[in-house]
Amino acid sequence: MFEVDRIAAVVRPTKAMLEWLYTQPSQYDHVTLESLQEDCVVLLIPPFDGPKQSMEYIRQIYKGILEAELISWGVPESARPKDCTLDTFLKWFKVEFHSVIYDVMYLQQEKVGEPI
């Protein structure tokens, strides 16, 4: 097991994101906030001294994160917001930062002899 020298940024959809999805075609009618937040995207970003620097990094790449999220949910390009601002992104997603990340895969390999 070794510590990964990166920050994990968890991108968690909010109620505002769910409400926007409900304005889309009916394929999202069954989606709940709980289901949206069940398996969130985790980004490994460079190590920073604190959450302010980490959030500044997210601010620089938010458009790509948003596009990837909408693609993963199957939102057609024609239905995606044309001019999504940082303010919209921050309303639609809560971003959490975690600075301690351990890679335990190699520890498991040593005990069992093969990856999980």
pLDDT reported for residue 103: 87
pLDDT reported for residue 13: 95
pLDDT reported for residue 16: 95
Domain ranges of the chain: 2-112
d(C-alpha 50, C-alpha 98), whole Å: 10
pLDDT reported for residue 109: 61
Q: What is the DSSP letter of 29?
A: T
User: Cα(first)–Cα(last) distance of the chain, in Å?
Assistant: 14
d(C-alpha 13, C-alpha 116), whole Å: 29
pLDDT reported for residue 115: 58
pTM of the predicted structure, to 2 decimals: 0.83
As averages over each run of 10 residues, the pLDDT of the chain (116 residues) reads 90 94 81 91 94 96 94 86 89 95 76 58
Q: Residue 64: helix, strand or coil by DSSP? A: helix
pLDDT reported for residue 40: 93
pLDDT reported for residue 41: 93
pLDDT reported for residue 112: 58
d(C-alpha 114, C-alpha 73), whole Å: 33
d(C-alpha 28, C-alpha 14), whole Å: 15
Q: Determine phi and psi for 13, rounding to 5 degrees.
A: -60, 150
8 A C-beta contact, residue 40 and residue 13: yes
8 A C-beta contact, residue 45 and residue 6: yes
